[in-house]
Structure 1
Amino acid sequence: MDTSRSSTALSERTVLDRLVQSGITQDRAIEHIRGGWVLVDGAKVLDPGAAAEPPATVELRSIHRS
């Protein structure tokens, strides 16, 4: 049996993972990402599965409504 790689090792953290870890529900996080309100290192991200490993900065921006 090969135990050099753990089957429980963390995979790459995504934008969705990082938002959920911050306390936002998964459904709400997906809504924010697809709405264009999430930036990773200053760039808009529309894919919940996009990589966002620390130390990447994940920001949630509000949209001003008129």
Structure 2
Amino acid sequence: MNTDLNINEILLQVERLDKQAQQSLFEKLALMIRKPEQKKGKIRLSSISGLGASLWSKTDIDAYIDQERQW
């Protein structure tokens, strides 16, 4: 859905609120906007080392590769 359309729908709903409710909403929005954004930590590729080991534990890797090369 279009973001502008969502914002316009929200504004129409806000206009229906009384002034005290609008002021309360404004204060809550201001607090939400002022919150510092949490930085997403970088994930190192080495941190997932061995993640799929259990999936491959019963597979003959050489046979698997030979089979994949044939098609």
> Into which bin does the TM-score normalised by the smaller protein fall?
under 0.3
Larger strand proportion of the pair: 1
TM-score normalised by L of structure 1? 0.26
Higher relative contact order (CA 8 A, sep 6+): 1
Larger Rg: 2
